[in-house]
Chain A
Amino acid sequence: MARRAALYAAALVAYAFLYVPLVIVVLFSFSASHLGTRWAGFTLHWYRVLLHDAAMLHAAWNSVIIALAASLAATVFGTLAALATRKYRLRFLPVLVLAPLSTPDILQGVSLLVFFVLLNVTLGLKSVMLAHISFCIAYVAIVVSSRLAGMDPSLVEAARDLGASPWKGFWLITLPLLAPGIMAGGLLAFTMSIDDFVITFFTAGAGTTTLPLRIYTMIKVAVTPEVNAVSTLLMASTLVLVLSISKLAPQALKGMG
């Protein structure tokens, strides 16, 4: 029994390790002190500052636009990749789709930077979107594949036997069954895009900021609890996203990092 207690204690410590830092961030967003690291009474001041911080709001807007565009495109590409891999048993495509997940972020960032500069593409929203699509495809493909793997092929076969064309079979059977997986994959891609710092850092150029880039600048230059306030709001929205993904595709969360 002592061993079991030790096991639970160790698990509890691990949970505490995961949560205490985040709780501290949230807590200090309500601190009246100018330093992000000292408590000096409760205030909503930093949320008001946040609401009037035009640069931060603009960065947040950019992040949302990029994440929407990137996750939509990645959802289309990733779903196609998952369908093609399943249907035609391709070799090269799945390797290419998953490769961005196993190359260091920094390599992807700098190689895209070099690529865009060599092609004279102006760095900005568009270059960031393209970069984000390239690493988001993998997430969508994984989630949609796991959904496809759990699908009963006899349903489509039955539809075909009853005279449905391949296109009709896909449109009426495969796609509706796949929809939660596609939604979950899209939401995951959205989260990954809005969260990304390293690849954005290299592909955004000087004039464009996203929320993570703005937070980075504040952390490096002048930390105020405004960072905590924006972090708290971001965490709240992440929570909503994670909960919706876990409703849509419970399996997706397990297989995924």
Chain B
Amino acid sequence: MSISRGAPKRPFSSMTSRARLARWALSGPPLTFLAIFFLIPTLIMALASFGWPGREGGFSPLWYHDAAGWHFDFTLGNYRDIFTLRLFLVLYLRSLGYALATTGFCLVGAYPLSLVIARARVGYRNLLLLLVIVPFWSNFLIRIYAWMIILGPQAALSRGINAVLGLCGIRAVNLLFSPFAVMMGLVYVSLPFMILPLYANLEKHDPALLEAARDLGASAWSCFWRVTFPLSVPGVIAGATLVFVPALGAFAVPDILGGTRGIMIGNVIEMEFLQARDWPFGAALSIILTILALGATGIAAWAARRGIKAYG
């Protein structure tokens, strides 16, 4: 997913004023809009994370002016609290765990499907791909709600499992409102994010490479591990990033399927903003979440570069 770059940039000074005007007419509106409604709000969050909560929610001012001059009222307290209270560290670790596990399950689940689509006859490929895209674009909440039905205590799955557990003399379990339900929901909503980039990569592989490997006596297994998989690493990395980042910041899935046992950092951020109304603390929590997400994206970009070097 990148925006293609075209003609080489002309030196600014040599541009006529008309060309400059055209340039601003094109890039100005989206630039201004996103600066106001994306960049500035994000920067406000970053600043606010160093502030104190206001008396009735919101923020207390970061700086003010009175007879004695300017006062700056910054604090590192929000970050100190996050790193010293075990509760929040545990929540971050748990969210990281969920996101990692989701990425792993999605990789295992998506790989065979992507491979089958990529190796299908050209006429079928678009249909098979469309079959992945349709559920992906169905409403996000509906896809989570579906798991509420499947895992609900009245549903066949729960009753079946509990009947078996009952025979073994084990107490009945509640599948819904559990970490298990959160895992299922996360994998379900994330799976297409892994399938699509993997497919895009696998589709480009030259079948001659596999034929050559087979002619040289490689088994199907070593063909896969020594030809297909190494070549697909960029696709795996792209998919992993697309799965990991949203899963890390998930809010709706744990909120609907997790109950109190399946809470993630996204839910705590929501509570800080809408219930506890400690905005600076919520801001600090979201800034750390964003740093973790950016870190993961950075690691992925680094791994992709290394992967290209290694198998280049």
Q: Which residues of A pack against B, CB within 8 Å?
A: 3, 7-8, 10-11, 14-15, 17-22, 24-25, 28, 35-38, 76-78, 80-90, 92-94, 96-108, 110-115, 117-118, 130-131, 133-134, 137, 141-142, 145-146, 148-149, 153, 166, 191, 195-198, 202, 212, 215-216, 219-220, 223, 227, 231, 234-235, 238-239, 241-243, 246, 250, 253-257
Q: Are B27 and A81 in contact (CB under 8 A)?
A: yes
Q: Are A89 and B6 in contact (CB under 8 A)?
A: yes
The SS class assigned to the B binding surface is helix
Known: A18-B132, A133-B33, A134-B37. A149 touches B4 (CB 8 A): yes
Chain B hits for A14, CB < 8 A? 109-110, 112-113, 191, 195
Tell me, in angstroms, the Cα distance from A219 to B256 when the chains sit together.
8
Q: List B residues 1-54 near A (Cβ within 8 Å).
A: 1-9, 22-23, 26-27, 29-31, 33-35, 37-42, 44-45, 48
Given contacts A103-B293, A250-B126, 4 further A-B pairs with CB under 8 A are: A85-B5, A86-B5, A94-B3, A104-B266
Task: Give the interface size bracket for B toward A.
Answer: 35 or more
Q: Are A197 and B140 in contact (CB under 8 A)?
A: yes
Q: Are B44 and A114 in contact (CB under 8 A)?
A: yes
Q: Are A107 and B290 in contact (CB under 8 A)?
A: yes
- B116 close to A (CB within 8 Å): yes
Q: Are A25 and B193 in contact (CB under 8 A)?
A: no
Q: What are 26 A-B contacts with C-beta separation under 8 Å? A: A10-B112, A11-B112, A14-B109, A14-B113, A15-B113, A18-B188, A21-B146, A21-B149, A22-B142, A81-B3, A81-B27, A87-B26, A93-B27, A96-B38, A104-B245, A105-B246, A107-B45, A110-B45, A110-B270, A113-B273, A115-B44, A137-B30, A195-B139, A235-B138, A238-B137, A254-B199
- B133 close to A (CB within 8 Å): yes
In the complex, the 4 A-B pairs of residues with the closest C-beta atoms, listed nearest first: A104-B249, A21-B146, A10-B112, A84-B27
- B148 close to A (CB within 8 Å): yes
Q: Are A231 and B142 in contact (CB under 8 A)?
A: yes
Residue of A nearest to B26 (CB): A84
Chain B hits for A114, CB < 8 A? 41, 44-45, 48, 273, 279, 283
Known: A89-B8, A104-B293. A37 touches B154 (CB 8 A): yes
